[in-house]
Structure 1
């Protein structure tokens, strides 16, 4: 199922990275989101890079009673620590060098609505303290001002870090974590959503085909499907989007199914830093059988790691049968 998001006027818009999926893990997250959206409480969204944390945060806003109020988003890691406080809380003219005019911050911009703070773990302790005060009391002061201002903002934090571990190490305020963690929605990685892989891949492929002016998308060959299913997707949906779109635009014949995909666009014999590896590969080995065995074992171990030690996926990734892979594992004494 594809989950569209209404805009501020209530119309439905398609997202660049859509919420598509039918797996149990994905649908369970959507149910949690729908339940939590109705409450006027802080929320924390946790997940690996590329899992769609920002899209889930948007869904929280548009399903909430604040749906027709401002939705303001800020990536805290994209702004230097020295400027983040001003970006969040605003400043008065003359508050610091180059502050020639008064500027309102993101909290004031989001008044009545929702403020999404991505990469929250990167914020410094003084900024965390001020965020906590706004969450608890709705109060803050602009930089360079002693006037207390009040706002009504729902804060939704997003991170790919282990915040409880950071709090235990003193690198994140435990009291702020307590307030944000009224509820925590943890997004499943794509490797735990195998049912959603091909619907997502086909969506990205069809959209790229339209962008290229093609009338249709001829689909993926069984070999390409096996490659996609065997990959562990460390970059999750964002990585899948890049891989599929790259495969579509590199396919010269729109009427021919895609027969293979490239996972690493940097792979090249002319890649910087590859000279030493190329020179080593050009030398004749003294023990050809031993050299081949070492290379075979190294590739099998790498494929196992990339496929999360799932042996059937690893076999497909290497173009082997399951029995052939099992024989190689016994041969080299490879175990999980």
Structure 2
């Protein structure tokens, strides 16, 4: 038996702190995003929140609540999928794999059971979440460390959903991690470090493997019931969500990706093509159309003790990343409100 869990109280607005850089065009008065940050505390009962915007040569940082800082390392959850998809598309551009290839070609005999068949599933279906494979996290509740093969075998005890229909499943990206290893002879972490993290100088970004601690500096991370979950075994997520990073690195990564620094125009178009997933998802990225008609691209990430969202204009010139040091936003309306405040044209 464990002791009763305490609930963290909402923090008073007096604890809200804002920091603003004076670079480029962002040195003017804070935009509507900054006043929204405290609402994550008062309405969502989030211990602390922070955002970092990148636009042109300027950056803007804001934080709300104690125990959070711009330089913190934190867990990024499913934002890992954008990194994995980028590696896979780079390999496709090098003709080392084809998105039309069946999963069976790279992982023979692995995807079998309960009506699942890797001979009928393509790498494209994994990238776009249209494989129908069951999400293993529904069984492990993201609380049980598993190997990639164990995660896949858990999923394969369940029959598939309708193939070709968009159904988000972490199992897809666990399999893609195995494909990367099979094609390159190196782990997905090593390939991402060689192809993305190193070239972009993402000094705060890493794939921790089985390391349960966060690099310094870092704050604390809390589950929705207030439990401290700063120490976490990232093998609960693997290639689907183990990444550790910083606000600065995520802005830099998405700016580079959408700006064409990591993929050729052909393969970036492929990544942004949502037709396979019927408009819901590209490959490691998804679009969000805001009330003003602007469409931004990015991903969110949720893992115990951390919720993160990065969104960017399609050219990568304007990027916003925000995070909270708890598992989820209690008020889901705050996310689209923040994005609209950041990316929709402002009237004088």
TM over 0.5: no
Give the shorter-chain TM-score range.
under 0.3
TM-score (norm 2): 0.23
- Bigger relative CO (Cα 8 Å, ≥ 6 apart): 2
Q: Which has the higher helix share?
A: 1
Larger radius of gyration: 1
